[in-house]
Chains A and B, each alone.
Chain A
């Protein structure tokens, strides 16, 4: 059991007047994969956006509560959001490589943060290797990231995220736009990433949650977290009847 990475306390999330998360309490352990599952509209994606404060760019979005990270509340006003997002990276539902070369995509973050030019080559190679993409792209680093297939684009986005050396990686349904083979590659990758990173993955695919995660949190419509625990236990022996119904596909 690893040390707690994030402690979420009484988290509420609103879009204008609509509340999408209600009093969420959760402790996310380091160097593990935590899956967030639940039906559409249960606030899973909003939960991720609260963790790196990306909700701030959505007009009308607002949160209350605390998210303790490194001994401080990362929702507090005086937190340096840029520094926070460096440590808490994100991979999105639709692969979103920039319309730049593969190299420039991976080097984007380090360049922003002032990494010296002579170190970039090493960072780009390392990040692409970790994302399992190096062998496929090493001869075409100057090609546009948009030339890659969907699965490769998503691994490029993961490499781009790794290049800024985050501690936590948030993944928002990273495979929902991909075919099964590309999905399998990303899942293997997620499994390996937890040696060095803490991964929080939102998914609507329960098999995926069961395959890749150590812990699972189940959110239900209305934004309440109804059960959280070891993935094995959630899937084999849930405490909550609604969770059992959801997992066995009675609704969702």
Chain B
């Protein structure tokens, strides 16, 4: 091979390798979704979505688990979004960018790498036991909120950093205080991007099992949760229970896949919402 041929070969190889990696990922994703869909679609019915489980979970539906996941996601967002946005505002707008802030950022990034089961144990120790909140919607939401907090902070920081400096200068030069410039100009400009990050975090929270095993999830509840102190059923935990703890795990296989399909649909729905908001925001942005 001469030089030119060698270069062409290298080019073709690199292209093939990169394309292979991309399509492999796509194939795996399609494989998982179609597998879950084909196995689970048979279980989906109106009753499945709206009824309580019956006969030791071998029959009936998953309504309380859907509701529980919805509540958990709401609770997680209500706690993590304000906390994360405030922290991001402090980090980006107020703090002197010195060594302490660098350390805090490293800490936040490390928090994002802590395994989810560790958050579960932490939640058990702090919220369930020490603060006496018990196994409850509240404990689970708090634990999940801490789990997604690094994501929310990072997304919010990026959203704030994307706001042009000219907006801040313009507001300050008109006699705005720092805080006025933040809440009248910077924050409204950053809100769509912050929301996108928040919604993506919500999707991740909705799919978590480990953080809620010890803090919020119940095997079975005969009623829907009536307060934030009630234990709740949740889709990921429901799948886990049916697949590993139940005596009838083989009988309920189609219900497990049906539940997994519902969970997938919810998470995808959440993510698509985020993507739509983001594309709308890109269309409107002109600075």
Tell me which residues across on chain A come within 8 A of B222, comparing CB atoms: none
Give the Cβ gap from A110 to chain B, nearest Cβ, in Å: 9
CB pair B189 A164 closer than 8 Å: no
CB pair A112 B174 closer than 8 Å: yes
**Contacting A161 at CB < 8 Å: which of B166, B172, B174?**
B174
- In which size bucket is the chain B interface? 20 to 34
Give the Cβ gap from B90 to chain A, nearest Cβ, in Å: 16
Closest residue of B by beta carbon distance from A80: B175
Tell me which residues across on chain B come within 8 A of A54, comparing CB atoms: 169, 172-173
**Contacting B176 at CB < 8 Å: which of A82, A97, A144, A147?**
A82
Tell me which residues across on chain A come within 8 A of B170, comparing CB atoms: 92, 96-98, 157, 160
Task: Digitize A80-124: 1 where CB-to-B-CB distance is under 8 Å, 0 elsewhere.
Answer: 001101100110101011110000000011001100000000000
A146 within 8 A of B: yes
Give the Cβ gap from A19 to chain B, nearest Cβ, in Å: 22
Give bound CA distance, A96 to B174, whole Å.
Answer: 12
**Contacting A164 at CB < 8 Å: which of B164, B166, B175, B287?**
B175
Tell me which residues across on chain A come within 8 A of B6, comparing CB atoms: none
Give bound CA distance, A59 to B95, whole Å.
Answer: 11
CB pair A57 B175 closer than 8 Å: no
Give bound CA distance, A144 to B287, whole Å.
Answer: 12
**Contacting B169 at CB < 8 Å: which of A92, A97, A99, A146?**
A92
CB pair B167 A82 closer than 8 Å: no
Give the Cβ gap from A103 to chain B, nearest Cβ, in Å: 15
Closest residue of B by beta carbon distance from A57: B172
The answer to whether residues A90 and B173 also contact, given A59-B96, A96-B167, A146-B286 and a CB cut-off of 8 A, is yes
B105 within 8 A of A: no
The answer to whether residues A99 and B173 also contact, given A59-B96, A112-B180, A146-B286 and a CB cut-off of 8 A, is no
**Contacting B185 at CB < 8 Å: which of A89, A90, A98?**
A98
**Contacting A112 at CB < 8 Å: which of B97, B164, B175, B188?**
B175
**Contacting B174 at CB < 8 Å: which of A57, A108, A146?**
A108
Give the Cβ gap from A8 to chain B, nearest Cβ, in Å: 19
Tell me which residues across on chain A come within 8 A of B169, comparing CB atoms: 54, 57, 90, 92, 96
Closest residue of A by beta carbon distance from B186: A98
Give the Cβ gap from A157 to chain B, nearest Cβ, in Å: 7
Tell me which residues across on chain A come within 8 A of B172, comparing CB atoms: 54, 57, 85
Tell me which residues across on chain A come within 8 A of B97, comparing CB atoms: 59
CB pair B167 A164 closer than 8 Å: no
A231 within 8 A of B: no
CB pair A96 B164 closer than 8 Å: yes
Give the Cβ gap from B287 to chain A, nearest Cβ, in Å: 7
A52 within 8 A of B: yes
Tell me which residues across on chain A come within 8 A of B180, comparing CB atoms: 112
Tell me which residues across on chain A come within 8 A of B168, comparing CB atoms: 57
Seen from chain A, the residues whose Cβ lies within 8 Å of a Cβ on chain B are: 52, 54, 57, 59, 82-83, 85-86, 89-90, 92, 94, 96-99, 108-109, 112-113, 144, 146-147, 157, 160-161, 164
Seen from chain B, the residues whose Cβ lies within 8 Å of a Cβ on chain A are: 96-97, 164, 166-177, 180, 184-185, 188-189, 286-287
- 19 of the cross-chain contacts (CB-CB < 8 Å) are A52-B173, A54-B173, A57-B168, A82-B176, A86-B174, A90-B169, A92-B166, A96-B169, A96-B170, A99-B167, A99-B286, A108-B171, A108-B184, A109-B175, A112-B175, A144-B286, A146-B286, A146-B287, A164-B175
What are the 4 tightest A-B residue pairs by CB atom distance, in nearest-first order? Answer: A96-B166, A86-B175, A90-B173, A109-B174
